């Protein structure tokens, strides 16, 4: 099967098409690499943003991610999904950037992203309905920063990035049980903090 124009511009790619694009990249085809970038860029950007919460930093990290993907694509082994391999590079680049940021203020940049999707395992639907969406985003952002690095990454990848346990374990180089433990701790603490904030708001309204 040869990729035609319709296949290239399609936002959805089959595993076979991805494999063919990868093979083309191995031959130095930058156009095929551009298709791969377009296919994965939005999700990579979203994951990095939900860790750093800083649009300027995200642009640099995403660019660095795909530069590394291009330089190291010959090392990719199809033992794991290509998407997982890319996200692993993205998370590692993000961790490196976090180490370089000297002040915590960078993590609290204002955001207009109101498309975050929180799982019902984090909190009840009725509970979410009582929170203004922007307030919830700001709260989750600030609370996630107070978690340990591993808890924060696990929470971001699974509850905000919709990845599964196995994929998250592969990306972070930890065991599935470690992922589960960190996710449980992160959800519990964020949930409790949100409840505290809600209760504080109710008490103030009653005064």
What pLDDT digit, counting tens, does each position of 19-56 carry? 999 999 999 999 999 999 999 999 999 999 988 888 88
pLDDT of residue 118: 40
Mean pLDDT, the chain, as a whole number?
79
Which domains are present in the chain? 11-103 (1.10.1740.10), 110-207 (1.10.10.10)
What pLDDT digit, counting tens, does each position of 157-193 carry? 998 888 999 999 999 999 999 999 999 999 988 888 7
DSSP calls for 58-124: HHHHHHHHHHHHHHHGGG--TTS-HHHHHHHHHHHHHHHHHHH--SGGGGG-----------TTTS-
pLDDT at 116 over 50: no
Report the pLDDT averaged over residues 70-94.
Answer: 95
Look at phi and psi of residue 48 and say left if phi exceeds 0, alpha if psi is from -120 to 50, else beta: alpha
Q: Comparing 143 with 95, which gets the higher pLDDT? A: 95
Burial 43-61 (b: 16+ CB within 10 A, else e): ebbbbbbbbbbbeebbeeb
pLDDT at 128 over 70: no
pLDDT class for 17, splitting at 50, 70, 90? very high
Q: Comparing 46 with 204, which gets the higher pLDDT? A: 46
What pLDDT digit, counting tens, does each position of 52-80 carry? 888 889 999 999 999 999 999 999 988 89
What pLDDT digit, counting tens, does each position of 137-164 carry? 777 778 887 888 999 999 999 988 889 9
pLDDT of residue 189: 86
pLDDT at 108 over 60: no
């Amino acid at each position: 099967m040869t990729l035609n124009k319709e296949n290239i511009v399609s936002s959805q790619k089959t595993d076979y098409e991805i494999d063919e694009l990868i093979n083309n990249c191995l031959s130095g085809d930058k156009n095929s690499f551009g298709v791969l970038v377009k296919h994965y860029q939005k999700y990579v950007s979203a994951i990095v943003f939900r860790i750093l919460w800083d649009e300027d930093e995200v642009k640099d990290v995403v660019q660095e991610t795909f530069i590394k993907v291009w330089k190291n694509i010959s090392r990719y082994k199809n033992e794991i999904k290509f998407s997982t391999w890319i996200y692993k590079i993205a998370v590692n680049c993000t961790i490196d950037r976090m180490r370089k940021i000297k002040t915590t203020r960078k993590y609290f940049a204002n955001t207009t992203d109101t498309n975050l999707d929180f799982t019902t395992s984090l909190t009840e639907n009725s509970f979410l309905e009582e929170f203004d969406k922007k307030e919830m985003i700001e709260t989750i952002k600030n609370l996630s920063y107070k978690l340990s690095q591993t808890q924060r990454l696990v929470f971001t990848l699974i509850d905000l990035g919709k990845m599964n346990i196995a994929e998250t374990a592969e990306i972070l180089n930890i065991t599935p049980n470690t992922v589960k433990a960190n996710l449980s701790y992160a959800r519990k603490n964020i949930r409790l903090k949100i409840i505290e904030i809600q209760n504080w708001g109710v008490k103030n309204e009653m005064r």
